């Protein structure tokens, strides 16, 4: 049915049809008509305003990473959109479906270089280097098709962030608009029968097969475990793929133990991952045969071509593979004792690092099995990513290879909004925490119950460690002057505590759990032992 509506109403109407229930953002003059439409839809779409556009992007990312659903944000043009750049780049690196709705300058001035408010030289081109797709709607009626295309681009094949933009005059213009039903974004390519049979034969006849997965396997956990159990193959999970197999299962292996097992692998099944670490730095590149399952044919070629490549959704390919494996699978004895010992050996090495291990034990104890841990790139976060047992997918959330400081707090807030019934911990260092410290205000204003734990060493600790180890303690630009974090948290109206020891942290987490609303816990740590030599592949590995 054709209806009269503004461009802003067409945007919001399409968002509702697409199932968007929450949007993060900041209002501004170029967005007024769309925010007015969001007011009209306030009972159907929750609008959460942040204190910085970067945080709006990260909150949308956290929403997407924790739920698997689309995370949406809305920001002003020019500097507003550029401020979301780090979050959108992190979303691209994390293969997360994030929709960014951006304003523009008046349509008649775009590209004119007249110095309009928030004008940049070429906003569309600037974003094309960051996200998968950028589109602009030139009329209210066009908004429906262009925005639906944004969803198609975002959700077809490998999930990626996209940007949709509209000029303010178009947002306010009234036109004839027909909202459309949502299409399916399933990837229904033809079954690659020969490749699947070849994969079943190669894996079934392997003596020491292994499986390496990333977050692209999420949604196919049962099929993955079925294949792994048939092969008695360890499932080595990248840091973004943790939880694909529960750490209660002996086949589940984090990277730290998986890279040691790699020395004996003859055939590897690689699913939903860039495969960068094993492919580039674990050695034996010409010795290990590869079977690759990926949704993205370009990604599946890197860092080297596989012996068998299957371009198919992980669940579809793994399900067929599990059906065909018994025809080729050799008799296999349980590797439970061997693989449990391998993981325990790796964890025993990490347990020697104090105080990290003591704090990590307390965090795991306090977080329910389905609770969500969002980590920055602090040294403590690196320890948790490698040591902490993970039981479900989407419960260990990291910035991936972008390693963006400032990620954890707003991303944790977005994760909590997506999963309000799950406990969410934010793990940050003092350096990264101060990138988006203002979002404590957002947490309190919108009652987003996240517990933020800041490990405070008064420095950009990872960089300082590198300068110590490689430049003879020639420190520059790494020491930080921080506020009193307890006073800071309380000034925002939240519970704020300090914990000096693991036992103090246990007590503080219990207090935070019983207090209403969000909480901040500062943990002063000073310099801590380095984890890097324990988690890096030995230099003797051949490349």
- Please state the domain extents for the chain: 3-177, 193-341, 353-534
**How far is Cα 453 from Cα 220, in angstroms, rounded to an integer?**
32
Q: In DSSP terms, which residues pair with 309 in a beta bridge?
A: 292
Task: Look up residue 278 and give its DSSP letter.
Answer: H
Considering only CA atoms, which of 478, 250, 227, 226 is closest in space to residue 342? 250
Question: Which pLDDT does position 182 carry in this prediction?
Answer: 83
| H/E run at residue 203 | helix 193-204
Question: Which pLDDT does position 435 carry in this prediction?
Answer: 96
What residues have CB less than 8 Å from 317, skipping those under 6 apart? 192, 196, 271, 293, 310
Q: Is 3.30.565.10 the CATH number for 3-177?
A: no
- In this structure, are residues 495 and 521 in contact, taking their beta carbons and an 8 Å threshold? no
Burial of 537 per CB tally in 10 Å (0-12, 13-18, 19+): middle
**How far is Cα 338 from Cα 265, in angstroms, rounded to an integer?**
14
Considering only CA atoms, which of 231, 217, 123, 107 is closest in space to residue 170? 107
In 104-154, DSSP assigns E strands to: 133-137
> How far, rounded to the nearest angstrom, does the alpha carbon of residue 390 sit from its chain's CA centroid?
15
Question: Which pLDDT does position 186 carry in this prediction?
Answer: 64
| H/E run at residue 511 | helix 502-514
- In this structure, are residues 282 and 190 in contact, taking their beta carbons and an 8 Å threshold? no
Kindly calculate the radius of gyration of the chain based on its CA atoms and give it in whole angstroms: 24
Longest dimension (CA), the chain: 74
pTM over 0.85: yes
pLDDT tens digits, the chain, 543 residues: what are they?
899 999 999 999 999 999 999 999 999 999 999 999 999 999 999 999 999 999 999 999 999 999 999 999 999 999 999 999 999 999 999 999 999 999 999 888 888 888 888 989 999 999 999 999 999 999 999 999 999 999 999 998 899 999 999 999 999 999 999 998 887 776 667 788 899 999 999 999 999 999 999 999 999 999 999 999 999 999 999 999 999 999 999 999 999 999 889 999 999 999 999 887 777 677 787 889 999 999 988 888 888 888 999 999 999 999 999 999 999 999 999 999 999 999 999 999 999 999 999 999 999 999 999 999 999 999 899 999 999 999 999 999 999 989 899 999 999 999 999 999 999 999 999 999 999 999 999 999 999 999 999 999 999 998 999 899 899 999 999 999 999 999 999 999 999 999 999 999 999 999 999 999 999 999 999 889 888 877 776 543 443
Same fold, 3-177 and 193-341: yes
In which residue are the tokens 């479906």 written? 97
**How far is Cα 9 from Cα 36, in angstroms, rounded to an integer?**
8
- In this structure, are residues 212 and 273 in contact, taking their beta carbons and an 8 Å threshold? yes
- In this structure, are residues 104 and 77 in contact, taking their beta carbons and an 8 Å threshold? yes
| H/E run at residue 347 | helix 336-351
Q: Just give the CATH number of 193-341.
A: 3.40.50.1220
**How far is Cα 172 from Cα 170, in angstroms, rounded to an integer?**
5
Angle at 420 between CA 491 and CA 448, to 5 degrees: 10
Question: Which pLDDT does position 119 carry in this prediction?
Answer: 85
Candidate CATH numbers 3.40.50.970, 3.30.200.20, 3.40.50.2300, 3.40.50.720; the one for domain 353-534 = 3.40.50.970
Structure tokens at 335: 């590797």
């Amino acid at each position: 049915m054709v209806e009269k509506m503004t461009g802003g109403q067409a945007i919001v109407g399409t968002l509702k049809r697409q199932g968007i229930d929450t949007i993060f953002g900041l209002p501004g003059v170029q967005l007024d008509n769309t925010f007015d439409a969001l007011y009209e839809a306030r009972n159907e779409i929750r609008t959460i305003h942040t204190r910085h556009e970067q945080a709006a992007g990260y909150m949308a990312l956290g929403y997407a990473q924790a739920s698997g659903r689309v995370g949406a944000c809305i920001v002003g043009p020019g500097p507003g959109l550029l401020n979301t750049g780090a979050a959108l780049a992190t979303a691209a690196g994390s293969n997360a479906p994030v929709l960014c709705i951006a304003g523009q300058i008046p349509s008649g001035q775009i590209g004119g270089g007249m110095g309009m408010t928030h004008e940049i030289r070429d906003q569309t081109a600037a974003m094309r280097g960051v996200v998968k797709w950028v589109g602009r709607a030139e009329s209210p009626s066009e908004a429906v098709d262009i925005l639906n295309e944004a969803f198609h681009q975002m959700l077809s094949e490998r999930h990626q962030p996209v940007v949709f933009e509209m000029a303010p005059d178009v947002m306010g213009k009234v036109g004839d608009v027909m909202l459309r039903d949502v299409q399916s974004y399933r990837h229904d390519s033809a079954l690659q029968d020969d490749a699947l049979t070849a994969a079943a034969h190669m894996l079934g006849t392997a003596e020491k097969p292994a499986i390496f997965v990333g977050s692209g396997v999420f949604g196919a956990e049962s099929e993955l475990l079925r294949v792994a159990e048939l092969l008695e193959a360890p499932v080595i999970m990248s840091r973004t793929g943790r939880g694909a197999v529960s750490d209660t299962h002996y086949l589940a292996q984090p990277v730290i133990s998986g890279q040691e097992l790699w020395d004996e692998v003859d055939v590897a099944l690689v699913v939903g991952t860039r495969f960068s670490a094993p492919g580039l730095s674990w050695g034996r590149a010409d010795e290990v045969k590869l079977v690759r399952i990926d949704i993205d044919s370009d990604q599946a070629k890197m860092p080297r071509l596989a012996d068998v490549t299957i371009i198919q959704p992980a669940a579809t390919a793994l399900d067929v593979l599990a059906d065909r494996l018994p025809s080729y699978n050799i008799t296999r004895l349980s590797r439970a004792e061997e693989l449990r010992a391998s993981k325990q050996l790796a964890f025993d090495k990490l347990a020697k690092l104090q105080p990290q291990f003591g704090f990590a034990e307390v965090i795991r104890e306090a977080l329910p099995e389905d609770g969500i841990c969002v980590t920055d790139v602090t040294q403590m976060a690196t320890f948790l990513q490698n040591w902490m047992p993970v039981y479900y997918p989407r419960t260990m959330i990291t910035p991936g290879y972008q390693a963006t400081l400032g990620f954890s707090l707003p991303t944790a807030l977005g994760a909590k909004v997506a999963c309000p019934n799950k406990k969410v911990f934010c793990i940050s260092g003092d350096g990264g925490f101060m990138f988006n410290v203002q979002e404590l205000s957002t947490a309190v204003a919108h009652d987003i119950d996240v517990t933020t734990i800041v490990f405070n060493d008064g420095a950009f600790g990872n960089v300082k460690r590198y300068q110590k180890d490689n430049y003879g303690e020639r420190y520059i630009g790494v020491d930080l002057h921080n506020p009193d974090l307890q006073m800071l948290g309380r000034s925002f109206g939240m519970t704020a505590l300090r914990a000096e020891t693991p036992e103090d942290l246990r007590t503080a987490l219990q207090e935070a759990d019983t207090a209403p609303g969000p909480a901040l816990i500062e943990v002063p740590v000073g310099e801590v032992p380095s984890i890097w030599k324990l988690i890096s592949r030995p230099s003797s590995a051949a490349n």
